[in-house]
Structure 1
Amino acid sequence: MTVLKRALQGRHALVTGGAKGIGLAIAKALLAEGASVSITGRNEANLQEAVVSLQALGKVQYLVMDVSDADSVHLAFEQSQARDGRIDILINNAGQAGSASFLKTDTRLWDNMLAVNLSGSFHCMQQALPAMLESGWGRIINVVSTAGLKGYAYVSAYCAAKHAVIGLTRSVALEVASKGVTVNAVCPGYTETDIVKEAVANIVARTGRTEEQARVELAAGNPQKRLVQPQEVADAVLWLCMDGASAMNGQSIAVAGGEVM
């Protein structure tokens, strides 16, 4: 019997924020195509639970890592590569959203949004790129947000950080364009994740609307009038990892039902 080789067989992928939501869906998609996967996050209990749910699909490990801490990132990448070899695919998915009006956005919130959403991608890209360039093949996908493509009220620090990640994506993509490595961004609209649950809770607390009314309000910005599902984002990310997407570089793909065109 002939066993067909899966598209990412022999590739090692690292997914930040891989224990839940979009990150977990991406890890599943990568494993299904034969990649070995390292997931990272700050909560070890959540990571352990995720690995249990994923291990039937393929080779998966977890590493506790804080993307905002350069030393933590360096150590985790060393450990990951020692176990499974060179990282061929980097998915910068870890992110955090904080809500406040601009005049109530203090330095702590501002610095935290930049540290997690922007510096986290920077630290991880710097760790992953050298081996990719040496091998002549690599995929970096930054999971950003439509907040990197347009503005939203009450999340100015988050939007600023996500816009910056788009700029980082474009700049690095040009530097590596002729070296077998691509760098792209996927920008989901409001997606069924913990971040959306937090946004719903903020709307309820701020406006007195019901939870259902708050969810409808968030979905209203999507022309399809619904929340995006994590698997839909994972499907877009998976395609960018494939050899068939080699001409895609420096792009920011909105997965948002037409909210951003």
Structure 2
Amino acid sequence: MIEVERKMATTDVNSRNRRWSLEGMTALVTGGTKGIGYAIVEELAGLGASVHTCARNEVLLNDCLSQWKLKGFHKVTGSICDMVLKTQREELIHRVSLLFNGKLNILVSMPCIPTIYYNNNPHYLRLHGRYHFHKILQK
């Protein structure tokens, strides 16, 4: 009975891997060094996608990149980017465009926490930054 269950489990995993392959696909995950962003990077990489992520903390980013290499996720790259800053968002898009030869299949845009208030609205920078980020992606 146990052998049958093992075989079924192995078959399910193999069938999932064949069905959900992201080989040849490219992905950008902003904020991929913590929490759900980290898990998304691992899932996409595990399914075969080439993934680029960004974070504000260089030490944490380098640590995550090292961990992913040890886990066999050799198609994961990363760069420093504070999504609140327009120039850094533009540089990120330029870098990703070069890295993926202008092809981006998957975008996971994790929320950024604003540190500056505009007209007493703490959500302004988050929404404005995301809006601008998506607009430059459309170019």
TM-score, L = length of structure 1: 0.41
> Offset at 1:114?
2.0
The equivalent residue for 2:61 is 47
Number of equivalences = 120
- Aligned residues of 2:81 and 2:89 also touching (Cα < 8 A): yes
Structure 1 residue 8 and structure 2 residue 22: aligned? Answer: yes
Letter matched to residue 114 of structure 1 = Y
* Bigger relative CO (Cα 8 Å, ≥ 6 apart): 2
Answer yes or no: is 1:32 the counterpart of 2:56.
no
| Residue 121 (str. 1) matches residue 130 (str. 2) | yes
Equivalent runs, 1:67-216 vs 2, <5 Å: 67-85=83-101, 86-96=103-113, 107=117, 110=120, 112-115=122-125, 117-130=126-139
Inter-CA distance 18–109: structure 2 relative to 1 (3 Å threshold): farther
8 Å CA contact 1:15–1:23 kept in 2: the answer is: yes
Aligned pair in 2 of structure 1 residues 31, 78: CA closer, same or farther (>3 Å)? same
**Helix, strand or coil at the partner of 2:123:** helix
Kindly indicate whether the alpha-carbon contact (under 8 Å) linking 1:15 and 1:27 is maintained by their aligned counterparts in 2.
yes
- 1:19 corresponds to which residue? 33
> Structure 1: which 5+ runs fail to align?
99-105, 131-261
Q: 1:67 to 1:110 in 2, by over 3 A?
A: farther
TM-score (normalizing by structure 2): 0.73
1:49 partner SS: helix
What is the CA distance between 1:45 and its match in structure 2?
Answer: 0.9
Distance verdict in 2 for CA 1:119–1:107, change over 3 Å: closer
In the TM superposition, structure 1's runs of 4+ consecutive aligned residues that sit over 3 Å from their partners are 3-6, 106-113
Return the alpha-carbon distance in structure 1 between the equivalents of residues 36 and 114 of structure 2. 14
Q: Which residue does the alignment assign to 1:240?
A: none
Calculate the aligned-residue CA RMSD, in Å: 2.6
Instruction: Please state how far the C-alpha of 1:127 moved relative to its aligned partner.
Output: 2.6
Residue identity opposite 2:97 in structure 1: Q
TM-fit CA distance, 1:118: 1.1
Question: Cα gap change, 1:34/1:108 in structure 2, threshold over 3 Å: closer, same or farther?
Answer: same
